[in-house]
Amino acid sequence: MNDQDALQLQLDLLLEQATVRQLNKIVRQASEAVLLLAGNRDMEVSQLRNLLSVAVESRSVEVVINFIRYQIARNSRAWGIERGSFGHRVIEDLRKPLQGWTDAVLKEVTDRHPDHAEGLRERASVRLMQLYLGYLNRAFYAARRVDTPYFDTLKELLNSSNS
């Protein structure tokens, strides 16, 4: 293994460790978004699974946002067209909180390797987006299977951890 390979492995490990430290925030944000779907009978598990597939295949935040806009136009009852509705909330999360998580991850990496963090922003952003959408999918899947009690339990858990 040469020095360049060793450095790349070290950067990959630092990136992964910094990403893991954002998981609680990511899970909370995804769970809060899912609460907007309480009582929504039009959203299907397959729609969020398709969204996650787009994120994994495209590896592009902008492609995912474009896909969500398409879904909002195509099925407004499931995704919502009003500001603050589920679809718009997910887009907002992919714009603002995702940026904050990415900045935090990059700060950790650049604190250790300031000269070698170039090009990591997009990798970090894509990975964090995929995690967010994965947890969004999981939370909705559980909510859809258990229905109202799960939404109530999820809301209670989020409220109790804010205290």
139-162 pLDDT, tens digit per residue, is: 998 887 765 566 677 677 667 666
Secondary structure (3-state) at 131 = helix
pLDDT of residue 5: 80
d(CA 126, CA 53): 13
Q: How far is CA 30 from CA 1, 6, 23, 89, 108, in A?
A: 40, 35, 10, 10, 23
Domain that holds residue 139: 3-162
81-134 pLDDT, tens digit per residue, is: 999 999 999 999 999 999 999 999 999 999 988 887 778 999 999 999 999 999
How large is the average pLDDT for residues 74-84? 94
42-70 pLDDT, tens digit per residue, is: 999 999 999 999 999 999 999 999 999 99
How remote is the C-alpha of 50 from its chain's centroid? Answer: 14
Question: Is 143:151 a contact under the CB 8 Å cutoff?
Answer: yes
Tally the C-alpha atoms within 13 A of residue 12's C-alpha that lie toward its C-beta: 6
Average pLDDT, the chain: 90
What's the number of domains the chain is made of? 1
